[in-house]
Chain A
Amino acid sequence: MQSQLPLFPEQASNFAPHVDALMGFIILVCLGFAVAVTIAIIVFLYMFRRKSPGAIGVAIHGDMRLESAWIGVPLILALAMFAWGAIVYVDFRRAPPDTLDIYVIGKQWMWKLQQPNGLKEINELHVPVGQNVRLIMSSEDVIHDFSVPAFRVKMDVMPGHYNTLWFRPTRPGKYHFYCSQYCGTNHAIMGGWVTVMEPDEYTAWLAGSGGAHVSPVVAGQTLFAEKACLTCHQSDGKGSAPSLNGVFGGQVRLASGAVVTADEGYIRESILNPNAKIVAGYQPLMPTFQGQLTEEQTLDLITYVRSLQGEPVPSSGAGVIQTAGKN
């Protein structure tokens, strides 16, 4: 399949045709300019070559019309490139609501990925074709970057917070993924393969590769008890901390008066740096769990909190603003 001199990567996601079309547009515009300037230079060099050793040229100092034209025309074309590029990027940065969420942890120099049912993969990612997939990514050490050229997507993987990356695979197959942000000694081999499967194959694969993996919800629930979170975060709202029922995805009012959406990043921050955002009506009592949880344990906890999304919200002591509609 791979020729000796490959010049164009495969197109295997919803973004690939858009990115390639942008590439085509910008190549055409730039080629137009480059060819025009090159031809002008070559023609001038020939036509106006020095005819005798002492000859001088004609004194032309400038032309306002020309100057305005070659400021105006490139400006318009540049703005067109900007606008089109921004449209693609906005789409890329805003994941649709119905995504298959996969947690990704980068560390020197491997990738750990976790399917929604808790199945863990190392340097391998299996996803179903045609399904919107969202990677929720963090790093245990330095900055990494998850990059899939065939999908035309990449996103930095930062220590300390979550970045998300979404795509919809459009063609079954095996595609390289790379670490694209230099991360130390074995940066170049910190990669692997994305396998895009038919949905039924994917379901079978998920079921078949069962083994003894623990659902992250169960793992998170266990941790929630072990770390004594439930002493304060009682589900009926009677503890000294807000109930977590229905919090995930909802709006939370803070002591500062601000309202934030409880996403993965918020839950994570509330675990590792609890005093950063205090829920209105509560005291900053919670200790930090910075350094006491691995990235995977943090993700398990978040998944558990997320599983409480549909639980009944108590009338008092709720973490979430109850009138706010859930999305």
Chain B
Amino acid sequence: MTDHELVVIGGGPAGLAAALSAWEQGVRDILILERDNQAGGILNQCIHNGFGLHCFQEELTGPEYAGRFIDLVKQTGIQIRTDTMVLELSEDRVLHTLSPQYGYESIRAGAVVLAMGCRERTRGAISIPGARCSGIFTAGAAQRFLNIEGYMVGKRVVILGSGDIGLIMARRMTLEGAKVLACVELMPYSGGLARNIVQCLNDFDIPLYLSHTVTDIRGKDRLEQVVVSQVDEKRSPIPGTERVFDCDTLLLSVGLLPENELSRQAGIAIDPRTNGPVVWENRESSLPGVFACGNVLHVHDLVDYVSAESETAGKAAAAYLRGERPAAGELKIVNGNEVSYTVPQHIHRGVDSVEIFFRVRNVRKDAAIRVLDGQTQIARFRREHLAPGEMESIRLPKVLLDRVQGDALTVEIEAVEGGVPRSEASPLADIPTPTGKGGQT
């Protein structure tokens, strides 16, 4: 058994930023464990641009963003061990690892940062009926095949789900010569960033079918056809609305799940709303000395936010290693009306200002976010635009937190009379959303 002060599980943007931040705080024995053959995580395959506007004030591609952090890490004494799989994390912070170079090893850590990221939901997770032919990929798997391995996965493509990876792949496949026939989204709004709808679908006249889903998959060896149907308000397919697409490839961009097998094994409390650990404002989990950041904690839209969050976790891990413990006293953060979760889930009494991250359930225009102490509103934040696909945040200053009477704060979206207005005037409504049935083959 070897000992390390800080062990970071995962060498993607979260792990790199957490390790750097701990180093800056004076921790000198840091080991990053990465299962891929290089650091950088999913950024290595995200060759498109748009990363780093918050963090570096310029527009970088994924590999460039990762490269900046890897270069910074190389200037420190932080060790990165690639090709290393963590099999188990125990409650007393012993990690069991496997790698071609060192074989089986156990490592005792003074503190641990969980930065394992997330993985894609698959066909099995959403139970699409039909043939079990080849040609069905998660969008991220196709992205890896294309951008890292150099293989085109198909020529005529339908994309299910309008999450960012699906949208990015619609553009990427089109630029590489494939015909992307449609992007199909179950919900009445897109799960991706608005900018990606514009530059990945509209730029190439790829139709987005909102409130539609794939209801059948046909093909003997390779995919030959998918059937797409409109869905009702309960998301059930409407008979008679079927349209058939002749295609050889179906890409699934149907959501991401934080990858918390290790956390669960270690007995760390998981929030069923985020599928990530329950954390304090310093990103410490229910297991003392174990911190979590990035997509393993909750799925982020922007890597810049991952880096910022990971800095918090790295700093807190360093403080833990110095023997500092936050003051006792808990203030819960509860999700109220139209808010699906909050991170952190609870904060320590007496801390400095806290940024609360959350997602909303509905698309709203000219909305307000309210923070309630019991029934009393203590803060209100106006937002021109809210969407479930775009993570929101509010900052609560110390003066406000110190005045809180109850033991929980509720974050909610201000109710409007007559229910929830959908933003009809949004430019998203300009995207053709065919409603009638008809062949699109």
Partners in one complex: no
